Amino acid sequence: MMCFLRVTTMFLFLFLDIVNSRVVHGEQNAPLVYDKSSLVSFMLCIVSDPENALESWKSPNVHVCDWSGVKCSNASDRIIELDLSEKSLGGTISPSLGNLSSLKILDLSGNFFVGHIPKELGYLIHLRQLSLSGNFLEGVIPSEFGFLHSLDYLDMESNNLDGEIPTSLFCNGSSLSYIDLSNNSLGGFIPLSNECVLKELRFFLLWSNHFVGHVPLSLSNSTQLKWLDLESNMLSGELPSEIVHNWPQLQFLYLSYNDFVSHDGNTNLEPFFASLMNLSRFQELELAGNRLGGKLPHIIGDLPTSMQHLHLEGNLIYGSIPPHISNLVNLTFLNLSSNQINGSIPSSFCHMIRLERVYLSNNSLHGEIPSELSDIKHLGLLDLSRNKLSGSIPDSFANLPQLRRLLLYDNQLSGKIPPSLGKCVNLEILDLSHNKISGQIPAEVAALASLKLYLNLSSNNLYGPIPLELSKMDMVLAVDLSMNNLSGRIPPQLESSIALEYLNLSGNSLEGPIPYSLGQLPYLEALDVSSNQLSGVIPVSLQLSSTLKILNFSFNKFSGNVSNKGAFSSLTIDSFLGNDGLCGTVIGMESCHKKHSYHLVFLLIPVLLFATPLLCMCRYSMVIKSRVRKRFTVVNKGKLRDEEEETEELHYPKISYGNLREATGGFSSSSLIGSGQFGQVYKGVLLDNTRVAVKVLDTETAGDISWSFKRECQIIRKIRHRNLIKIITICSKPGFKALVLPLMPNGSLERHLYPSHGLSQRLDVVQLVRICSDVAEGMSYLHHYSPVKIAHCDLKPSNILLDEDMTALVTDFGIAKLVKGDDSASTSYSAASFSSTQGLLCGSVGYIAPEYGMGKHASTQGDVYSFGVILLEIVTGRRPTDVLMHEGSSLHEWVKRQYTNQDKLGKLVEEALQRYSSCLPNHHNRTRQDVILELVELGLICTQQNPSTRPTMMDVAQELGRLKDYLTNPNSSCRSENSVK
């Protein structure tokens, strides 16, 4: 409205200017005055010009043809070009531009224009080039654009346009050679038919929209096509092999993240690859994130040798990699990750000497890593993670001078880390975690000063000291050496790793004190030294650190006074468990004054005893011996009776150790189905043919077993809900304690999320929503309706079991906590009996609420956070720990970055749809998309940093219940009016 008023007011003044021009300069200049008035009207709709791009437009001494961005014709003295691209202009596009009747080029790209595209632009019949890309324009593409018969170049990429492409645009735009409508919200079918042919078309880009249907057959008439990008839409059908061979000039073909299948019922890729064989200029093929099935055909090696990029990741491709692929000698980028490919890595890869990046992760490749890969001198990234590769890491990798990222984690590699890797002087990331690698950390590798992101050697069998050379990594952000057998002291020289933000040395055999210098690292945010043999006083430098947020000193031999000041102000006893020598003012920690009093008493006792007359000692010696003998008798009998009566005390039917041993085949490895923090789980069959899971608590590693055992029994006995696990019975004897639970035939949710665990069944979207709803209902009961309000504290996919009907049940209450302030709880259990056994934090890494890292008490809001992480994990298919190590952020932060980028969000949703099959008809793709998007949003809301802003599990259960209804009745709204805030 303001723009309209400004234009109307200015028109009155310009009218006199036009009349004066006709009188003074003659009739021939009037059209230019009209053009000028149109530009002035356009300028009045600009509300922001931070670069003063229109400064010359405001000067009365500058001729309109000399205005910035304006070009006039020498012959007609009319404006023929307006180019204001990348000027940071903000406002709306004035319809007055439609009056520039001689305009041939209009470029307003890379600005901040909002509102709708004026239909008046469709009257610029001489327009050849129109570029409005990179703005914030919304609404539909005007059908009047069908009048632009001379249009050759149309670019409206990266706006907020919606609706369908007007049929008239393609039917009448026979001159169009370049079309880019990418990164909008356009939908419907691609409006090409035998009546609408674009014979001059060379570039056709529609990526990141919502187009449906097949690739139009009439597109085969565009025989000059060079570039086709339909990525990230909802297109379906077989790969367009019958069309492709009609494009002899084709160089780039992008069909990723759609719903395409291969030929012959999604079993044959050969016809499509055959259609590409004669495209002599072909360079890049992207088919990632579809549902393509079938084996890689041998003719893949007969593709044009001009090929540079090949993307086939995220499909259902199986079988081995054909050795003939090495014929693609100009290939620089190869991605076959996240398929079902098996066999070994062909040694013939070495013939593709131009390869720079190779992704083969998340398959079932086995055998050894070919040493011939070292012949690929340009190789900068090699990702072989999440396979079944064995053998040792080739020494020859030292011959890869350009190698920047080497990812071999989650395999079955053995042997030692080759010291020769230290010659890879450009290496930025080295991840060898979760293998069977042994030996010491080579000094040459530890001295890799080029490492900029992270070094991960965790979960191997490494031993020996931490090399002093590690201090030379002065740019590395994260170092994880946890879960090995490292010994010796923590080197003080680590202070030289000045960029270090994350250091994990837990689960080793390190001894001695923590170096004072460690607390002086300027950017260190997380330090975990738990489960070692460290001793001495915790250095005050850590307390004085202004950056440390997460600390874990648990299960060591530390001593001394710990103050709740500085970085320790938010910590609780959970950060210091298993250190009997510590005292101080940290929440839950025994005060030093009280501990010193105890020491004084212990010193006085022997003095008093020795001061007692010897005669009295003799006189009463027999009496004391008698009492002691009786007492031991009573204690031993009582102890045995306690063990025998524990089952009765907890109100469960009796079962003997022998029964369980027989049911599980002597607790054989073949019956082992899982392990956790407190022990192992075995499957078995009782005498009455009941199939059970027997959870045997590990008496060597679980700490106070009686406490943990009773705790889980007591908690489960008090709760009753269809989505919470029930105990059949328990078995308790000296040195042995077990829970007998119903056997869940469909295993855990984790096994279904990661098929590499041996599960072939794919979940569909409906099942996922039902599972999430089941878990939310169970957690809502724990938080709001249970007789004792309980925070689970360790919610994760492996603790969600699925019965024969795929109903989800929450299990493993080993570290659950009664919610503070619950009166019913205080009468039944002591506060001590519900202290955490998790060390620093309650739960598992990646699922832990951030406030726990600041020392906050466990709460139901922490469970909401964990549940949100599970939702995001389901949608992304990424473990939160993987995101932390490989992206340097939490899963919440990573997904949030995708969510704020329309292109990345669309790709994320499409990948989720490809990951999970659907029991819905194809025309319900929109329904599935809405549901996935809703899960993303709900996951982000549940994982907000501030616990007070998260919803309750009651709210979450209601939202997921609504989603279930929506899947049953897609006509109902996917967005509730009272959505979770």
Binding residues for ATP: 695
**How is 136-171 classified by DSSP, letter by letter?**
EEEEPPPGGGGG-TT--EEE--SSEEEEEPPHHHHH
Token readout for 194 is 């035998």
- Contact present, 435 and 408 (Cβ < 8 Å): yes
Token readout for 23 is 């009188």
Distances in Å between the Cα of 35 and the Cα atoms of 39, 93, 96, 332 are 6, 15, 9, 51
Residue identified by tokens 């041993």 is 661
Token readout for 364 is 């079932």
Separation of alpha carbons 851 and 980, rounded Å:
21
Separation of alpha carbons 14 and 8, rounded Å:
10
> In terms of Cα–Cα distance, which of 218, 214, 333 is closest to 283?
333
- Annotated catalytic residue within 35, 259, 574, 794: 794
Token readout for 711 is 């705790």
Separation of alpha carbons 84 and 98, rounded Å:
16
Residue burial 703-718, b: 16+ Cβ < 10 Å; e: rest = eebeebbbbbbbbbee
Strands 227-229 vs 429-431: parallel, antiparallel or unpaired:
unpaired
Residue burial 56-77, b: 16+ Cβ < 10 Å; e: rest = bbeeeeeebbebebbebeeeee
Separation of alpha carbons 255 and 237, rounded Å:
12
Task: Report which secondary-structure segment, H or E, holds 486.
Answer: strand 485-488
CA 371 to chain centre: 32
CA gyration radius for the chain?
35
Task: Please count the other Cβ atoms lying within 10 Å of the Cβ belonging to residue 472.
Answer: 19
Q: Please, which residues have CB within 8 angstroms of residue 556's CB and are 6 or more apart in sequence?
A: 529, 530, 531, 532, 533, 534, 535, 578, 579
Task: Report which secondary-structure segment, H or E, holds 730.
Answer: strand 729-733
> In terms of Cα–Cα distance, which of 797, 792, 800 is closest to 872?
797
Task: Report which secondary-structure segment, H or E, holds 372.
Answer: none
Burial of 480 (0-12, 13-18, 19+ CB in 10 A): buried
- Contact present, 514 and 490 (Cβ < 8 Å): yes
Read off φ and ψ for residue 658, nearest 5 degrees: -60, -40
Q: What 8-state DSSP symbol labels residue 267?
A: T
| Active-site residue flag, 805 | no
- Summarize the annotated binding site as residue ranges: 695
AA identity, residue 549: K
Q: Please, which residues have CB within 8 angstroms of residue 805's CB and are 6 or more apart in sequence?
A: none
CA 566 to chain centre: 32
> E strands, 33-108, where?
46-48, 70-72, 79-83, 90-92, 105-107
Token readout for 256 is 């990723």
Strands 672-676 vs 533-536: parallel, antiparallel or unpaired:
unpaired
Read off φ and ψ for residue 313, nearest 5 degrees: -70, 160
User: Which residues does the annotation mark as catalytic?
Assistant: 794
